[in-house]
A and B are shown apart, each in its own frame.
With several copies, the nearest count.
Chain A
């Protein structure tokens, strides 16, 4: 299945602004992030701690709704848009 990934701010500088990943059906959010980490070592070290957990400051959205840490095992569906970004600072 195809998952659209959008990255912003410092993560955009590491991953590019928009990419499409082809993942096995029913892959989870965690599996998507693992795929992203393997794409880019800098993203890997910035976004994950040494035990492989996503750092607290990293924010996620699925289809423009915030995802909390309880949703990391949620299965993704073909066509989902997942966004990954650091804390916001508008205004």
Chain B
């Protein structure tokens, strides 16, 4: 299942894109889009599957609710940190060790806003967005955070 959604409630002035998708993504492509002559700072968070002895990871979402929540977070962050653009891509499905899980790219005029906005989005994503990760080991499996 792939769900693509350009942000449906864009923050005035901020360019936003939110995707929840089984496809891998290309950080470079998004970073290039985030660059603009109004922004002097682009901060990127890339989350990948860390080798904690696991064989693979499965990511599941409540896609409609997750997109709506990400969209809210995106607008909150753009307002609060005065961001020029916000891009969020979260992958779904079976992922191997080293695979990309999530990409957050924000741009702003200055570095503090860009760092603050990117880190805020990640924390909110982890605590509010209905997405779950299950780690699969050779000897068993467990849902992360439960």
Contact = CB atoms under 8 A, between A and B. Distances in A.
Indicate if A touches B (C-beta under 8 A). yes
Interface of A: 6, 8-10, 12, 57, 61, 64, 83, 85-91
B98 interface: no
B102 A90 contact: yes
Contacts of B126: 88-91
B145 A88 contact: yes
Contact of A90 (B64, B68, B133, B146): B133
Contacts of B61: 8, 90
Contacts of B65: 61, 64, 83
29 contacts: A8-B60, A8-B62, A8-B132, A9-B146, A12-B60, A61-B130, A64-B62, A64-B64, A85-B132, A86-B146, A87-B145, A88-B127, A88-B128, A88-B132, A89-B126, A89-B132, A89-B144, A89-B145, A89-B146, A90-B59, A90-B90, A90-B125, A90-B133, A91-B90, A91-B101, A91-B102, A91-B122, A91-B126, A91-B131
Binding site of B, secondary structure by majority: helix, strand, loop or mixed?
A: mixed
Interface residues of B, number: 28
B64 A91 contact: no
Interface string B53-69: 00000011110111010
